[in-house]
């Protein structure tokens, strides 16, 4: 029978555990501090930032949102980051992406103190992850590994196909799975034989943001299906990359959208904030 | 007709061009300086270091070999690296691997000034490569990309299979080819269906060090074959991963061993030293 991978439930368990860790820290007089920088008025970003604030509060992390105008200059943003780098009460810094066009995003990511880089966007942290010497793991890929662990899905030797090659999900997830001994194929929009490749996968991971791009004939019988895509259909309903109703019957395990990978990302962010705090005290 | 990819000839052309760049720098009074640190008496390492010295001389790069005893302590090695980081006449620093067991290799790699890290082993440089914002590219993967370029082999949309997942070759090469739009599969010793996967590849790259592991039945008709493996057979002759005599007839392009990827690695190192010099003046 197909098993739904319940990211919401798994993330609640993780958050409960993290709450206990924060409580233990508070007994030593330490409160983990997270600064979230939000530049401009992007609607999706506002929602993401609010969610991070809500979950921080739930766990006991002291979160501070730094709201900056859409007209913020590179220099002003850099100044804020340097201040937060120096602020001992802030253990994690997150710059909400995307930044306005006038900002050099790569420079900003590389200015955050690597020890406070809870999003794992600093090149040094990306590099450490690549050679298997990670301080932090990027949140969405780490959340997926956690789903595998909690669902007892073996990785070593498995044929994994990832559709999507972003810096935030596709590429780091590929590297993390390669490090765990999987045979990993990374596909993109120019892939010639997507259906052939995807239907060879023991574990199929889609991160395209194209609704229902993964149909049942692209999936091997009893494959594990991980859906990272999020988009809205014509009716405004949140949907994933996977044609869930039809793929469901073929999969051994499947993540729903919403309630699959999404809640794990934020739980892993909280985990990184607590890890950063412990490393800094 | 099968085309042999002549890495020796291509590397000679590159070195000739680099020699011209060094000459132009020398007219401004600048001589690129490379320091190579060799700890202990590993035979292979001695040969590699000598080759680097020879090619440096050929091009006009001032190379300096720092020989240290096999009993060198972590502290002593760190001290040398800090001195070379501060030395304005040294633009590139290379620590010959492998280091003795008592040395923390990852720490040493991350102590080299990223601006002088011509091997691209520093996590920051690995991370920049990963997000497509590279200062340096790791030498062997960069040499392979150069072979593709010079041989006019297109990458975008091609199915590439890489056998081997090392930090020096397999993983960075995979990322660089993903960044160029290829569909990339990384296999390892635990891969279930190696023959099936390898024979789907438009471009098959082997980096295992196991002699003749790639037989003709593992290769698609007209595939491009890149052989990074180097080992010695029973007679002491250098051989690659590919069963060259039999694969040759099936391939559209193939690299020989020796004379394929090998000479490109050192040419790319020289390129990195000159790039580092230009970035530092």
Under an 8 A CB cutoff, do A192 and B132 touch? Answer: no
Same fold flag, A30-118 and A139-262: yes
Question: What pLDDT was estimated at residue B2?
Answer: 80
Q: Which chain B residues have a beta carbon less than 8 Å from that of A174? A: 174, 178, 186
Say whether pLDDT at A2 is over 90.
no
Residues of A in contact with B190 (CB under 8 A): 156-157, 181, 183
pLDDT in tens, A171-208: 999 999 999 999 999 999 999 999 999 999 999 999 99
Give the model's confidence band at B272: pLDDT under 50 very low, under 70 low, under 90 confident, else very high. Answer: very high
Chain A residues whose CB is inside 8 A of the B179 CB are: 165
Report the candidate in A175, A194, A193 with the shortest Cα–Cα distance to residue A184.
A175
Which H/E stretch holds residue A84?
helix A74-86
Does the CB of B195 have a partner CB in chain A at under 8 Å?
A: no
Q: Which of A157, A246, A166 is nearest to A205 (CA)?
A: A166
Work out the mean pLDDT of chain A and round it to a whole number: 97
Q: Please tell me the predicted confidence (pLDDT) of residue A1.
A: 78
For chain B, give the percent of residues with pLDDT over 70.
100
Q: Do A106 and B197 touch (CB under 8 A)?
A: no
pLDDT band at B218 (very low <50, low <70, confident <90, very high): very high
Strands (DSSP E) contained in A56-135 are 62-68, 92-95
Contacts of B21 (CB under 8 A, 6+ apart): B274
Domain B29-115 CATH (choose: 3.40.50.2300, 3.40.50.10860, 3.90.550.10, 3.40.605.10): 3.40.50.10860
A203: chain B residues, CB-CB within 8 Å: none
Closest residue of chain B to A121, computed from CA coordinates: B127
pLDDT for position A202: 98
* A227 a catalytic residue: no
Q: Do A178 and B187 touch (CB under 8 A)?
A: no
Domain A30-118 has CATH 3.40.50.10860: yes
Domain boundaries, chain A: 30-118, 139-262
Residue B185: band (very low, low, confident or very high) from pLDDT cuts 50, 70, 90: very high
Closest CB to B128 among A123, A159, A171: A123
Report chain B residues whose CB lies below 8 A from the CB of A132.
167
B17 is catalytic: no
| Mean pLDDT, residues A84-106 | 97
Q: What is the pLDDT of residue B180?
A: 98
Nearest Cα residue to B160 out of B104, B116, B224, B212: B224
pLDDT (tens digit, 9 = 90+) per residue, A30-75?
999 999 999 999 999 999 999 999 999 999 999 999 999 999 999 9
* B77: pLDDT strictly greater than 90: yes
Tell me, what's the pLDDT at B135? 87
pLDDT at position A103? 97
Candidate CATH numbers 3.40.309.10, 3.30.200.20, 3.40.50.720, 3.40.50.300; the one for domain B139-262: 3.40.50.720
Residue A75, Ramachandran bin (φ over 0: left; ψ between -120 and 50: alpha; else beta): alpha
CB-based contact, A175 to chain B, within 8 Å? yes
Active site residue A119: yes
**For residue A135, what pLDDT band results from cuts at 50, 70 and 90?**
confident
Q: Does A174 touch chain B (CB under 8 A)?
A: yes
Q: Which of B157, B184, B190 sits opposite A157 (nearest CB)?
A: B190
pLDDT at B1: 79
Query: SS3 for A14?
Result: helix
Q: What is the mean pLDDT of residues B246-254?
A: 97
Nearest CA in chain A to B177: A186
DSSP string, chain B: -PEE--HHHHHHHHHHHHHHHHHHHHTTT---EEEEEEES--HHHHHHHHHHHHHHHHHT-EEEEEEE-TT--HHHHHHHHHHHHH-TT--EEEEPSPPPTTS-HHHHHHHS-GGG-TT--SHHHHHHHHTT--SS--HHHHHHHHHHHHTT---TT-EEEEE---TTTHHHHHHHHHHTT-EEEEE-TT-S-HHHHHTT-SEEEE----TT-B-GGGS-TT-EEEE---EE-TTS-EE-SB-HHHHTTT-SEE--SSSSSHHHHHHHHHHHHHHHHHHH-
């Amino acid at each position: 029978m197909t098993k739904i991978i319940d990211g919401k439930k798994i993330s609640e368990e993780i958050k409960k555990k993290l709450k206990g860790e924060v409580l233990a820290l508070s007994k030593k007089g330490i409160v983990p501090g997270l600064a979230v920088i939000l530049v401009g008025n992007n609607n999706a970003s506002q929602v993401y930032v609010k969610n991070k604030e809500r979950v921080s509060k739930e766990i006991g992390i002291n979160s501070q949102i730094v709201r900056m105008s859409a007209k913020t200059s590179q220099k002003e943003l850099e100044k804020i980051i340097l201040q937060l780098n120096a602020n001992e009460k802030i253990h994690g810094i997150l710059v909400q992406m995307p930044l306005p066009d006038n900002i050099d995003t790569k420079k900003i990511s590389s200015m955050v103190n690597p020890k406070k880089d809870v999003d794992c966007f600093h090149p040094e942290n990306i590099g450490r992850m690549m050679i298997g010497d990670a301080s932090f793991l990027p949140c969405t890929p780490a959340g997926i590994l956690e789903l595998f662990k909690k669902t007892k899905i073996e990785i070593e030797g498995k044929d994994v196909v990832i559709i999507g090659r972003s810096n935030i999900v596709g590429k780091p997830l590929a590297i993390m799975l390669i490090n765990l001994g999987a045979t990993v194929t990374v596909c993109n929009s120019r892939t010639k034989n997507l259906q052939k490749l995807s239907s060879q996968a023991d574990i199929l991971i889609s991160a395209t943001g194209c609704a229902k791009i993964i149909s049942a004939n692209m999936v091997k019988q009893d494959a594990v299906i991980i859906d990272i895509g999020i988009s809205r259909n014509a009716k405004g309903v949140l949907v994933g990359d996977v044609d869930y109703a039809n793929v469901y019957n073929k999969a051994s395990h499947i993540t729903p959208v919403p309630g699959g990978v999404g809640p794990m990302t934020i739980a892993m962010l909280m985990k990184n904030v607590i890890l950063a705090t412990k490393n800094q005290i």
